Amino acid sequence: MATEVTMDKIVSLCRRRGFVFPSSEIYGGLGSSYDYGHYGVLLKDNVKARWLEAMVRERDDILALDSSIILHPRVWEASGHVGGFTDPLVDCRTCKQRFRADHLADPEHTELHCGKRPSKRPGETPDCDLTEPRHFNLMFRTRVGAVEETGVDVYLRPETAQGIFINFKNVAQLARRKPPFGIAQVGKAFRNEITPGNFIFRTLEFEMMELEYFVPPSDAQQWYEYWVAERLAWHLRYGVREANLRVRPHEADELSHYSSGTSDIEYLYPIGWSELEGIANRGDFDLTQHTNESGTKLEWVDAGTGERFTPHVIEPSLGVNRSMLTFLIDAYDEEVVAERERTVLRLHPRLAPVTVAVLPLITKDAGMVAKAQALRDELRQHLSVEYDESGQIGRRYRRQDEIGTPWALTVDEQSLTDDTITVRDRDSLAQERISIARAREYLLERLGEPWAPPPRTT
Ligand code: GAP
């Protein structure tokens, strides 16, 4: 029987090994908020690094940006977030459609149709199961200015995308190229989510990795398809199992107000198939809105020929925390080895919080300890290394397995005479001997190899 990965097992591992803690725990906790411990920080950093590598470092057509979390409040009026996220809304639990409560109560609004039976108004069929009206204050509001009376209401950004659009002109000048080109940003976003969180799947505060890719309008569909394929390939490249991923294009009635086409890359979470990443064809909605609202023309102009157009935008948007959760779930495995159970995170070596553990076999042996510490000091200049001399070697291996460390180097008796060490492979458990002098080169070579997840054990 294959390992069943439940959210409880992931939550428990994350807590046990210090990846993620419930936030404000000593005060009873705060719903949908989490704090990241040592290994959580390292894993999250690696997810961001791999994304930035694929989006910026490995390409010539994408530039990086880091915009403010608090933007001018008119940004959110232009983007549609102020109007779109503060209305009293009613959800239908059956057809999953959402309606403005004031429109439902107003017979003049004849455009409202039941999601299952369009000839009826929402609430008119026995199957309609409407919630009470709720104010969806999706954006967190705060005030700038020390004096309450003269302060200005501002918002914590619910996405990083708008910071990119309002900087289009600045970056386009720097890019010195005609679209297609993109702007990538990684940063915090905040949403006053009211639906249950499922651990770090949906939280009040999270990090996003967003690309806004600006293209000539006539090429938008082609680039949209390109980015759906490209983003799917990224998840596969870092080891998410193909069988657990699918692309789901949105139905016309699911599309956001700005989108003329959206596909979700979905993952088979323990809670069922759900959105991992969204790729949207946003058309010229955002640049046009900000042009109209700010009076600054956000368009591409060829200084030589005078050719000008408002680019269309393709947007792949992925939550760092949701991506991290996905990697954790996909990597989780349990197996019995030599009649003992072990839990192992089969993370891609370039995602694993610790790349290599360095362990003296006998921790009371000064010679082994000194050699192991010297090896640690050398390797830590290049790699994420953890040195561990606490407890029996078997226990230390299991601890590394649980945090997903792909290799463990052990200094033993033989090391003292011939300067060799053993390398233990997390997944196969194979051990080989290499010379200490070659350790760094060996690890860098292994890190550069293509990697695929081994099948889950039985
Ligand atoms: N700019 C487009 C945008 O914001 P979205 O589908 O609302 O699109 C993009 O969000 C991604 O951000 C999602 O696919 C998901 O990975 C992540 N995400 C959204 N809301 C989240 C939340 N409350 N907690 C964690 N991740 C979230």
pLDDT one-digit tens code per residue, 98-109 = 787 877 887 767
- Per the model's pLDDT, the better-predicted residue between 441 and 450 turns out to be 441
Residue 275 CA to ligand 1 centre (angstroms):
9
Residue 159 CA to ligand 1 centre (angstroms):
8
219-230 average pLDDT score: 98
Ligand 1: residues within 6 Å at CB?
159, 161, 191, 193, 202-203, 206, 208, 210, 275, 277-278, 315, 317-319, 321-322
At residue 137, does pLDDT exceed 70?
no
Token pair recorded at residue 439:
């350790």
The torsion angles phi and psi of 336, rounded to 5 degrees, stand at: -110, 125
Give the angle subtended at the CA of 9 by the CAs of 8 and 14, to the nearest 5°. Answer: 100
Nearest CA to ligand 1 atom 18: 319
Nearest CA to ligand 1 atom 11: 318
At residue 1, does pLDDT exceed 60?
no
Fold that domain 7-68+158-328 belongs to in CATH: BirA Bifunctional Protein; domain 2 (3.30.930)
Structure confidence by residue, pLDDT tens digits, 255-277: 877 788 999 999 999 999 999 99
Structure confidence by residue, pLDDT tens digits, 158-215: 999 999 999 999 999 888 889 999 999 999 999 988 666 799 999 999 999 999 999 9
From the CA of 264, give the closest atom in ligand 1. Answer: 14
Nearest CA to ligand 1 atom 12: 319
For CATH 3.40.50.800, the residue range(s) in the chain are 354-448
Q: What is the mean pLDDT of the chain?
A: 93
Token pair recorded at residue 423:
């390398």
pLDDT of residue 2: 65
From the CA of 201, give the closest atom in ligand 1. Answer: 25
Find out whether 137 and 192 touch, Cβ atoms under 8 Å: yes
Pairwise CA distance, residues 303 & 288, whole Å: 21
Give the angle subtended at the CA of 210 by the CAs of 169 and 23, to the nearest 5°. Answer: 130
User: In terms of C-beta distances under 8 Å and separation of at least 24 residues, what long-range contacts does 124-133 make, across chains too?
Assistant: 127/94, 128/92, 128/94, 128/95, 129/92, 129/93, 129/94, 130/90, 130/91, 130/92, 130/93, 130/99, 131/90, 131/91, 131/92, 131/93, 132/90, 133/88, 133/89, 133/90, 133/101
Q: Which of 162, 164, 208 gets mutated to test ligand 1 (max ligand atoms within 8 A of its CB)?
A: 208
Pairwise CA distance, residues 450 & 159, whole Å: 33
Fold that domain 354-448 belongs to in CATH: Rossmann fold (3.40.50)
At residue 354, does pLDDT exceed 70?
yes
At residue 90, does pLDDT exceed 90?
no
Run of H or E including 293 = helix 285-294
Residue 243 CA to ligand 1 centre (angstroms):
23
Residue 291 CA to ligand 1 centre (angstroms):
25
For CATH 3.30.930.10, the residue range(s) in the chain are 7-68+158-328
At residue 338, does pLDDT exceed 60?
yes
* pLDDT grade for 151, boundaries at 50, 70 and 90: confident
Residue 319 CA to ligand 1 centre (angstroms):
6
pLDDT of residue 196: 60
Residue 318 CA to ligand 1 centre (angstroms):
6
427-433 average pLDDT score: 97
Percent over 70 (pLDDT), the chain? 97
Nearest CA to ligand 1 atom 9: 317
Nearest CA to ligand 1 atom 17: 319
Pairwise CA distance, residues 434 & 436, whole Å: 6
From the CA of 317, give the closest atom in ligand 1. Answer: 9
pLDDT of residue 160: 98
- Per the model's pLDDT, the better-predicted residue between 259 and 412 turns out to be 412
Cα 435 → chain centroid: 38
Q: Which of 206, 211, 259, 324 gets mutated to test ligand 1 (max ligand atoms within 8 A of its CB)?
A: 206
Pairwise CA distance, residues 232 & 246, whole Å: 8
* pLDDT grade for 303, boundaries at 50, 70 and 90: confident
Q: Which of 317, 324, 326, 327 gets mutated to test ligand 1 (max ligand atoms within 8 A of its CB)?
A: 317
pLDDT of residue 233: 98
From the CA of 158, give the closest atom in ligand 1. Answer: 4
Structure confidence by residue, pLDDT tens digits, 10-57: 999 999 999 999 999 999 999 999 999 999 999 999 999 999 999 999
Q: Which of 322, 324, 325, 329 gets mutated to test ligand 1 (max ligand atoms within 8 A of its CB)?
A: 322
At residue 458, does pLDDT exceed 50?
no
At residue 79, does pLDDT exceed 50?
yes
Nearest CA to ligand 1 atom 20: 202
